[in-house]
Amino acid sequence: MNFQDFVNQTKGKKIDVDGLYGGQCVDLFNYFNKLYNNGVYINCKPSGYARSLAENKNNNGILNYYQETAINNMITGTVVVYGKCSFAPDSHVCFFIKDNGDGTYQALQQNNKGRQYVTIDNNPYNGIIGAFIPKQLVKNNNANQPSAGSDQVLYKGSKVQFYGCQIEDIQTKGNETTFYSSKYGTWLPITPFYRVDGNGNRYANQISSKGNWLKSDAIFTVKSVSKNPDKAVIEIDGKDYNVLSSGLYEVSNN
């Protein structure tokens, strides 16, 4: 599937799947399920609010159709669930489109600020309690996710990959191009990475510049770890780099 098709079908429309209370945020989520997940309806029990989609994930069936992911590894089409917070006092659910690079992200959602129709807005990350990628998109985009055999606590010997990032600065000296992303907290060589679009698809044109999105399929072994802040030393092209642990995810404990 192409998530843009869902955006085109819903933006500006009122979606009311259950016939209750008008166009609620959960209606948009379950409309996606109606179209792409064989019509399954995933309820908000026991609270009656969107937050139960994440809080009751082990019982409500969401994990049959979605793969849970880290907040900083969301791709276009990821379902985002908020708990009670200043942004969403009663909780909220929406779809991630893309990061804005300023602490917010672009979201497809319904019933934001009382508007009972589908809009695209900029939302904060604060308050998110769950992120779930539709399994169709995991397959289509070959999204790398933490494996069941990893605990996301890094130590010497951990096998890790990079979360995708946006280039904040880039430079070329001689034959080496390096880039900076605050997600990693250091300058890195661009060689293990490739340029992707908002859906995680590789661009034919691999000439990268500031603002572009990068991804890497390479697996690295952690050489050492440090605290305050949490960093991991990994080797790339024969050189060691201190990378923020939060910018890496563990694919294996050994």
For the chain, give the percent of residues with pLDDT over 70: 91
Could you state, in order of their start, the residue ranges of all structural domains in the chain? Answer: 3-141, 159-252
Residues 6+ apart with CB under 8 A from 60: 42, 43, 45, 52, 53
Residues 125, 105 contacting (CB under 8 angstroms): yes
Q: Copy the structure tokens of residue 145.
A: 């996710």
Structure confidence at residue 127 (pLDDT)? 92
The arithmetic mean of pLDDT across residues 31-35, rounded, is 95
State yes or no: pLDDT of 120 exceeds 50. yes
Closest listed residue to residue 127, CA positions, set 95, 84, 98 = 84
Structure confidence at residue 152 (pLDDT)? 60
Structure confidence at residue 17 (pLDDT)? 93
- CATH assignment of 3-141, given 3.50.50.60, 3.20.20.140, 3.90.1720.10, 3.10.20.600? 3.90.1720.10
Q: How far is CA 154 from the centre of its chain?
A: 20
State yes or no: pLDDT of 150 exceeds 70. no
Structure confidence at residue 137 (pLDDT)? 85
Mean pLDDT for the chain? 88
Structure confidence at residue 249 (pLDDT)? 79
Instruction: Quick: pLDDT tens for 124-146.
Output: 999 999 999 998 887 555 444 44
For the chain, give the percent of residues with pLDDT over 90: 60
State yes or no: pLDDT of 202 exceeds 90. no
State yes or no: pLDDT of 151 exceeds 70. no
State yes or no: pLDDT of 93 exceeds 60. yes
Structure confidence at residue 72 (pLDDT)? 79
Query: Cα separation of 62 and 41, whole Å?
Result: 9
The CATH class of 159-252 is: mainly beta
Instruction: Quick: pLDDT tens for 53-91.
Output: 999 999 999 999 999 988 878 889 999 999 999 999 999
Residues 107, 142 contacting (CB under 8 angstroms): no
Structure confidence at residue 207 (pLDDT)? 87
Beta bridge partners of 187: 180
Highest mean pLDDT among 106-110, 217-221, 235-239, 246-250: 106-110
Instruction: Quick: pLDDT tens for 221-244.
Output: 999 999 877 899 999 989 999 999
pTM higher than the cut 0.95: no
Structure confidence at residue 139 (pLDDT)? 59
Query: Cα separation of 232 and 184, whole Å?
Result: 10
The arithmetic mean of pLDDT across residues 163-187, rounded, is 93
